[in-house]
């Protein structure tokens, strides 16, 4: 069975702090994809990143970075110098070819960035 665990239900930081959101996944498939989505208070789901299981290179996009480690089945997301606009619920998700591409979501981490 496939599973995504985001153990941090809520995180609160002060603006300009760095924050890491954890994501641990379970799958028996060798070909799979990992995703992060952001859900701001307005409610929409915004796609952030997609990473395949054969590419363990870390990715950086502005203040956002992602650390993919197959050895620990983790795909963690770090926001550097957080800002109030980063306040949102962040979801990690998993899909695999053998499961028909269906997305399995974690429960989400609610990040609150205070000024």
DSSP secondary structure string, 23-54?
-EEE-S-SSEEEEEEEE-TT---EEEEEEETT
Query: Closer CB to other proteins, residue 64 or residue 105?
Result: 105
Name which of residues 36 to 65 contact other proteins (CB under 8 A). 37, 43-45, 47, 50
- Separation of CA 98 from chain center: 22
CA dihedral 25, 29, 30, 31 (to 10 degrees): -90
Report the nearest approach of other proteins to the CB of residue 7 (Å): 13
Decide if 106 contacts 93 (C-beta within 8 A). yes
Q: In angstroms, what is the minimal distance from the CB of 84 to other proteins?
A: 23
Q: Counting contacts by CB under 8 A, is residue 33 touching other proteins?
A: yes
| Residues of this chain that bind other proteins (CB under 8 A) | 4, 32-33, 35, 37, 43-45, 47, 50, 91, 93, 95-98, 100-103, 105-108
């Amino acid at each position: 069975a496939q599973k995504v665990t985001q153990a941090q239900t809520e995180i609160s930081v002060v603006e300009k702090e760095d924050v890491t959101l954890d994501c641990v996944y379970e799958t028996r498939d060798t070909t799979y994809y990992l995703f992060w989505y952001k859900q701001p208070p307005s409610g929409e789901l915004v796609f952030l990143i997609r990473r395949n299981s054969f590419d363990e290179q870390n990715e950086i996009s502005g203040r956002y970075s992602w650390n993919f480690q197959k050895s620990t089945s983790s795909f963690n997301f770090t926001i550097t110098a957080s800002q109030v606009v980063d306040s949102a619920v962040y979801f990690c998700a998993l899909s695999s070819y053998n499961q028909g591409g269906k997305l399995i979501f974690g429960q989400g981490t609610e990040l609150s960035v205070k000024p």
